[in-house]
Amino acid sequence: MFVNRKHELKHLEEECQKNRPAFIVIYGRRRIGKTTLIEEFGKDKPDFIYYLADQQTSAQQIDSFKQQIYEYTRDEFLIKTRFDNWDQYFSYLSKTLPQDKRLILAIDEITYLIKSDPAFPSILQKYWDMFFSKTRIHLLVCGSLVGMMLRDVLNYDSPLYGRRTSQIHLKPFNFRHASLLLKEFSIEDRVLLYSITGGVAKYLLLIEEPDVRDFIRKKIISKEGFFYQESIFLLSQEFKNPNVYLSILKAVALGHTKLNEISNFVGIEGKKITRYLDVLQEIGVVVRQVPPTEDPLRFRKGVYHIEDNFLNFWFRFVMPNRSKIEMRDTDALLDSIMEAMPGYASRTFENISMEFLQEVAAEGRLGARFTRWGRWWDRENEIDVVALDNDSHDILFCECKWQNRKIGVDVIRRLLDKGPLVKWFNGVRKEHYAVVSKAGFTKKAVAFAKDKGVLLFDLKDVERYFD
C-alpha cells in the first residue's frame, strides 16, 4: 500500500518534465519508505533503471550495476567486459548511455558504495561534470545513513557539493498518514501504536497482532521479534562507535532532558556532550526544544527529546530490560510496560493534538492562524501546546489530557490561570484557549468552558479528522 508522499512524487514528476539533466538526492532514516517512493515514481516509466547497492566489494557492486544497465540497453559488450574500478565503469557508460533521452537512473543506498570505495563521490562528480550534466538523464541517488549522506553527498566539503539540482529529506508519516495503515484499530490503539512505532512506514506495516499488548509481546520484547535488536542495528550502521550515543539516548528516554542532566548521567562534561547531541540532532534522532515564545539561539534552557518515537520507546522500555528479555522473563515486564503506556503515550498525544489543532486552525475554527507551535514551560509551570502569530499577536493555550476520566472545571481553570504567565505581547495580544481530552468532559466543565470561551475537543473529534 502506497500512502501519501504526494508532495515528493509531485516534485519528482515536475523535475522529470523539465528538458534538462537532474541530480536529485533522496535521504532519510532506514525503513522510512525511500525505496518505495522511487519504485512508485518509476513504475510506469519505460526509461527507468534502478540499482540497489549492498555491502559487497566494489568489484561485485560494479558487476551488479552492470546487470541492471544491461537489462535496459541489451549491450552485450557491457555485460562481457570486466571493469576494475568505478572510473572505468562510468567512462564506458558516458560513451554508451543516450544523451538526448530522458532516462532516469536511480542508485539506491549509495552510502554502501561510498563505504566500499571512499573515492566514489569524487568519481561520480567527475562524470557528472563531464557527461551527465550535458545530457537529459535524471540521476537519483538515495541513502539511509543520514550522517554519511549529509557529510559525503550534501556537505560543502563533499566533491558532489553544488551538483545536486534538488533534494528530498523523507520524514516519518504524521499521525494522519500513519492512521491510514492502522485503520483496523480503534483510535485509542492507533495513538498507542503510533507512540511506539512513530510514522516509520516499515514498522507500521509490520503490525499484524490484534492489539497493542500482543504486538509488544511478540515483536518487541521477544528475542526473535523484529524490533528487539532494531535500535542497536540502526545506530551501529550510523556510527562506528555508538556507545556514547546509546548512553545519551537512554538518558533522554528516562527523563534526563536538560544538558546538565544528560552530562551527569553519561559522565561526560557539558561541552563534549553537546557535540554528540549536535550529531543526533543533525540526523533527526534528537530534537532540542524551546518554548515558541523564545529565540532558539538565545534561549539557554532548552530541553532535549528523542524525536523518533520508536527509539524513544526502545530506550525507555527495552534497553534497561534486555537481561530479562534474554532470559525470556518477560511476563512481569509486559505488565509493567502496559501499566506505563498511558503516561508514556501522553507526550505523543500532545503531538497528535498539535497536529489536530493545526488542521482545525487551517479551517478557521480557532479564530486565528498560527505560525509557531510548541510546548511552553518555566520553572514551575508548563502548557502542553502554545501557538502564536507574530503579526496578528494571536496566541493559543491548550492542555492535552490522555487519561480515562473526564476533565473537570479544575483543569480548565488552571489553564486560564497559566495563560497570563506567558510573557509575550502581554496587554495587546488576543488569547485563545482549548483543551483536548481523551475521555471528554464533565457537564460542569462544558458549561464553564462555554462561559469562558474555551474550545473543547475529545477523542471522537480527533478521530473524525484522522479517520
Q: Is 319 a residue whose pLDDT tops 70?
A: yes
- Which has the closest alpha carbon to 311: 251, 380, 387? 251
What's the CATH class of domain 176-345? mainly alpha
62-86: average pLDDT: 95
Grouping H, G, I as helix, E, B as strand and the rest as coil, residue 248 is helix
Write down how long the chain is.
467
- Reported as a pLDDT band with limits 50, 70 and 90, residue 2 is confident
In the 8-state DSSP scheme, what is residue 216?
A: I
- Which has the closest alpha carbon to 354: 229, 466, 444, 201? 466
CA 166 to CA 355: how far, in whole Å? 27
| Domain residue ranges in the chain | 6-169, 176-345, 353-466
Q: What is the pLDDT of residues 11-43, one digit of tens each?
A: 999 999 988 999 999 999 999 999 999 999 999
365-371: average pLDDT: 93
Q: Is 181 a residue whose pLDDT tops 90?
A: yes
Q: Which three cell numbers stand for residue 424?
A: 509575550
Q: What sign for the dihedral angle of Cα 191, 194, 195, 198?
A: negative
Q: Is 240 a residue whose pLDDT tops 90?
A: no
The predicted structure's pLDDT at residue 1: 66
Contact 293, 376 (CB under 8 A): yes
Contact 126, 133 (CB under 8 A): no
The fold of 353-466 is Trna Endonuclease; Chain: A, domain 1 (3.40.1350)
Q: What is the pLDDT of residues 90-142, one digit of tens each?
A: 999 999 999 999 999 999 999 999 999 999 999 999 999 999 999 999 999 99
437-462: average pLDDT: 97
CA 267 to CA 285: how far, in whole Å? 21
The predicted structure's pLDDT at residue 392: 95
Q: What is the pLDDT of residues 396-417, one digit of tens each?
A: 999 999 999 999 999 999 999 9
Strand runs labelled E in 231-326 = 286-289, 303-306
Contact 283, 237 (CB under 8 A): no
CA 279 to CA 103: how far, in whole Å? 36
CA–CA–CA angle 142, 143, 144 (5° rounding): 140
Q: In percent, how much of the chain has pLDDT > 70?
A: 100
The predicted structure's pLDDT at residue 270: 84
The predicted structure's pLDDT at residue 142: 97
Q: Which three cell numbers stand for residue 389?
A: 502569530
The predicted structure's pLDDT at residue 3: 83
- Which has the closest alpha carbon to 281: 299, 302, 265? 302
What's the CATH class of domain 6-169? alpha beta
The predicted structure's pLDDT at residue 327: 95
